Amino acid sequence: MDAASNNGAKEGVGVVIRDSNRVVVAAATLEVTSALSVREAEAFAFYQGVNIAAQACFLEIEIEGDNIEVINALNSNSPFGRPFGTIISNCNALLCCFRFYKISHIKRNGNSVAHSLAKLALTRPNLMWLEETPTEVCNLVHLDILGQPLY
């Protein structure tokens, strides 16, 4: 999951869900309708990704993101101010739906597929792909599966 902004004028979220072989099983571009800070937008991206995984009835998930502040908040029991804290609380409430979950921080270059989808959401929001890879990120997905550097 990742978020992108068009100089604060518009924000978008990209979500990619993969199986254990890193093959894309679902992807989405989503519009962010309210003005959020970078931290809040990244947390909202996590919420949307977890929500899609829950709706798709996945039982076990591993969540990766490149925003360490959001990762630490999700792994913490500390309260946070609004609206960031509300988004984190909603994420944690959804995580209870899963039999198992793991939340990990990855470097930005390891999150290039989700970041590309977030940028795509700025011009083509509210799209979803199930059991297919969006053509706009096919090359990035294949390079990632092969373990090739993406930047």
Confidence band for 108, pLDDT divided at 50, 70 and 90: confident
DSSP three-state, residue 44: helix
| Structural domains of the chain ordered from first start | 2-146 (3.30.420.10)
pTM: 0.87
Q: What is the pLDDT of residue 52?
A: 93
Distances from the Cα of 48 to the Cαs of 21, 98, 143, in angstroms? 22, 15, 25
Residue 107 has pLDDT above 90, yes or no: no
pLDDT tens-digit map of 43-98: 999 999 999 999 999 999 998 888 999 999 999 988 888 899 999 999 999 999 99
Q: How far is CA 134 from CA 102, 116, 142, in A?
A: 25, 11, 12
Q: In degrees, to the nearest 5, what angle opens at C-alpha 37 toward C-alphas 85 and 10? A: 130
pLDDT of residue 8: 65
